[in-house]
Amino acid sequence: RTRNVGYLEDVFVRSPYKKLGLGEKLVREFIKMSKAKGVQKLSLGTRAENKAAIALYKKLGFSIIGYNFGKSLKPWKELIFS
């Protein structure tokens, strides 16, 4: 059983700063800091329609392991990666 698990909830990059690699730098820093703290397993999530985040997480070696569904004013589906 893995005890040290890290979860990245949200990463946001404002529109004027997109496509500059900032999201990737933030996620890579999260991975680096997590490893330094002894985290053994990382998970993260993004909305199913967020194509850029999905591509980034796959590029960094994460795979989809599940889904969360939310209900608010607009129902949503979140992909869970590990």
Cβ atoms 30, 8 nearer than 8 A: yes
Mean pLDDT over 38-59 rounds to 90
pLDDT in tens, 9-28: 888 899 999 999 999 999 99
Whose tokens are 């590029």? That residue is 59
What pLDDT, on the 0 to 100 scale, is given for residue 21? Answer: 95
Mean pLDDT (the chain, rounded) = 87
What pLDDT, on the 0 to 100 scale, is given for residue 14? Answer: 93
Residue from 80, 55, 62, 56 nearest 70 by CA = 80
Q: Is residue 73 over pLDDT 70?
A: no
Task: Please tell me the number of Cα atoms within 13 Å of 58 on its side-chain side.
Answer: 8
pTM for this one? 0.81
